[in-house]
Chain A
Amino acid sequence: MSAIIEFKDVHFKYPEDELESLCGITLAIEEGSFVAVLGHNGSGKSTLAKHMNAILTPTSGQVLVNGLDTADENRLLDVRRTVGMVFQNPDNQIVANVVEDDVAFAPENLGIPSGQIRDRVDRALQIVGMYELRQHAPHLLSGGQKQRVAIAGVIAMEPKVIVLDEPTAMLDPQGRAEVISTVTRLCREKGMTVVLITHHMEECIGADRLLVMSNGSLVDDGTPAQVFSRVEEMEAEGLAVPETVRLAYDLNRRGFSLPIDTLDVSACADNILKEIR
């Protein structure tokens, strides 16, 4: 597999800040993978996301999207149609008064012929399960539904990558579950590359790869099981680990010998039963 997004020693500093928000990030994201980025507020994870579709460009270093340099203004549209972006507040990214008109916004901007837009919009709405509500006014939808409309609006652009910048921060548990299952399906069934920025560790469990950010640097990188089993390091970062890991870790300190990298609740229970019997 090849890298669809590549960061080469990327530094970034907001003009009004003294410290860098990104301090030398080097990173390659494989096409078709589901990558989660975890970090506390101010760790730089949002800044990282905004570099992936040229909302921000590096102070030094280079970001390549599908081989295109994001700093090249002539290729801006190509970068943005390759990497779609979903933001935190669902209200502030919906532009139209009717669901389907909103989903059509990006293809319209790209100058796609009318008939094809209709197909793309219908398909995108079916993928996120909002086809039935296509005639509704967005402000009457629940948070989870609005966020799914936003995702459909990105899918209609037919990007290779979808980057979600804390898409669940303002949602209730049900809305969160809707969004996470939608993006997981996008990756697993449609082969889309997914980059999920979050501070909810439980949302990272289903990812292929988990990156941890702190103070503008990548401090950990591996499968969720590998990363979460480094319990002390995670806690030093002020991040929580799943209860399955925490339990195994604490039980092992009390004389158990459980595998620590189990994230599935049922498998965790099996491990404990094996140990006890």
Chain B
Amino acid sequence: MAEIIVEGLSHTYSAGTPFQKTAIENINLRIPQGQFVGLLGHTGSGKSTFVQHLNALLQPTSGRVLLDGEDINKDKKTRRDVKWKVGLVFQYPEYQLFEETVYADIGFGPKNMGLGKEEIDERVREAASFVGVEPELFEKSPLELSGGQKRRIAIAGVIAMRPGVLILDEPTAGLDPAGCRQIMDNICRYQRETGATVLIVSHNMDDAARLCERLIVFDHGGVVMDGTPEEVFSRPQELIQIGLAVPQSTAIAMALQEKGLALKGAVYTHEQLLMAVEAAKGAALC
């Protein structure tokens, strides 16, 4: 369940006008159930356009997107139903809050699904607990809360649809380090406990290196790298060439290697760097 297959996906904005712009071109991917995927690429590389195809918010100019073998753009009904199966959290989602209470806002998605009152209640409570929103806040207006809390309520609003695939476009943008950590922990917990597929669009290389099991790198509307963090970060020069940063640990490891110290394996987390340096010292002492 919840396997995504993308075949020859292309999208051109304002096709047929002088403003025509190809945002993504011929993307082919298979994302199996339960994977934790990071989508990297600088602004304008096509990653945001790509994710909006996965829940049929945008329709392909050519190519198709299959969810569990079924074309999500088959007809009007599948296009609508896919919204609950593939939950998409936009950048700065706190700006979409509109209901009078936190409870109603989290329940907006389930209500649109046509669920009964009890089912909605259960889902709202479950989603709120995933993001660490206490029931005491339910009757408050979402507009009174702090930025970090609003963000978590907005994410809960998507989680409440129990999507088998959860996509988040820069979920930590604009938050301070403590706020970022909290959101990422929430997302990891959702993935662990429900077995959902998670796709995160991120600019934070350290987070991507630490949390994701697979990284897909976009550039100029195409996929230029696709692999484990180890595979992707073992080619740091290519990342830098397309204008992306590398994790801080990788930068230090690269400097060490440039100066003639051989390190074993790819280095992209603090722990790996620690161990690599220790091992190098041990080897030098022998």
Instruction: Tell me if chains A and B make direct contact, with any CB pair below 8 A.
Output: yes
Kindly state the separation between the CA atoms of A221 and B65 in the bound complex, as whole angstroms: 54
Q: Does B80 sit at the interface, judged by CB under 8 A?
A: no
Q: What is the minimal beta-carbon distance from B274 to any residue of chain A, in angstroms?
A: 6
Q: Does A1 sit at the interface, judged by CB under 8 A?
A: no
Q: Which segment of B71-79, B172-180, B187-195 sits at the interface? A: B172-180
Q: Across the two chains, which residue of chain B brings its CB closest to A166?
A: B174
Q: Does B243 sit at the interface, judged by CB under 8 A?
A: yes
Q: A243-B252, A247-B270 are in contact. Are A238 and B42 (CB under 8 A)?
A: no
The B interface is mostly helix, strand or loop, or mixed, namely helix
B43 contacts A172, C-beta separation under 8 Å: yes
A243 contacts B249, C-beta separation under 8 Å: yes
Q: Does B278 sit at the interface, judged by CB under 8 A?
A: yes
A41 contacts B243, C-beta separation under 8 Å: no
One digit per residue, 1 when the CB lies within 8 angstroms of any chain A CB and 0 when it does not, for chain B 162-187 equals: 00000000000111111100000000
B281 contacts A40, C-beta separation under 8 Å: no
Kindly state the separation between the CA atoms of A174 and B243 in the bound complex, as whole angstroms: 8
B284: chain A residues within 8 A (beta carbon):
276-277
B248 contacts A243, C-beta separation under 8 Å: yes
Interface residues of B in 229-248 (CB under 8 A from A): 243-245, 248
Q: Does B66 sit at the interface, judged by CB under 8 A?
A: no
Q: What is the minimal beta-carbon distance from A245 to any residue of chain B, in angstroms?
A: 10
B258: chain A residues within 8 A (beta carbon):
269
Q: Which residue of A40, A243, A268 contacts B176 across the interface (Cβ within 8 Å)?
A: A40
Interface residues of A in 226-277 (CB under 8 A from B): 238-240, 242-244, 246-247, 250-251, 254, 256, 265-266, 268-270, 272-273, 275-277
Kindly state the separation between the CA atoms of A140 and B83 in the bound complex, as whole angstroms: 30
B173 contacts A265, C-beta separation under 8 Å: no
B252 contacts A173, C-beta separation under 8 Å: no
Q: Across the two chains, which residue of chain B brings its CB closest to A253?
A: B274
Q: Does A42 sit at the interface, judged by CB under 8 A?
A: yes
B245 contacts A173, C-beta separation under 8 Å: yes
Q: A174-B42, A244-B252, A265-B251 are in contact. Are A40 and B259 (CB under 8 A)?
A: no
Kindly state the separation between the CA atoms of A109 and B173 in the bound complex, as whole angstroms: 34
Q: Does A199 sit at the interface, judged by CB under 8 A?
A: yes
Q: A247-B249, A272-B261 are in contact. List 16 more A-B contacts (CB 8 A).
A: A41-B147, A41-B179, A172-B203, A173-B42, A174-B42, A199-B176, A238-B178, A239-B177, A240-B177, A243-B249, A247-B270, A266-B255, A268-B255, A269-B259, A270-B259, A273-B259
- Which residues does B use to contact A, with CB under 8 Å? 42-43, 146-148, 173-179, 203, 243-245, 248-249, 251-252, 255-256, 258-261, 270, 273-274, 277-278, 280-281, 284
**5 intermolecular pairs with C-beta atoms under 8 Å apart:** A174-B43, A199-B177, A269-B252, A269-B261, A276-B284
Closest 9 A-B residue pairs measured CB to CB? A243-B248, A269-B255, A199-B176, A40-B176, A238-B178, A41-B176, A172-B43, A169-B174, A269-B256
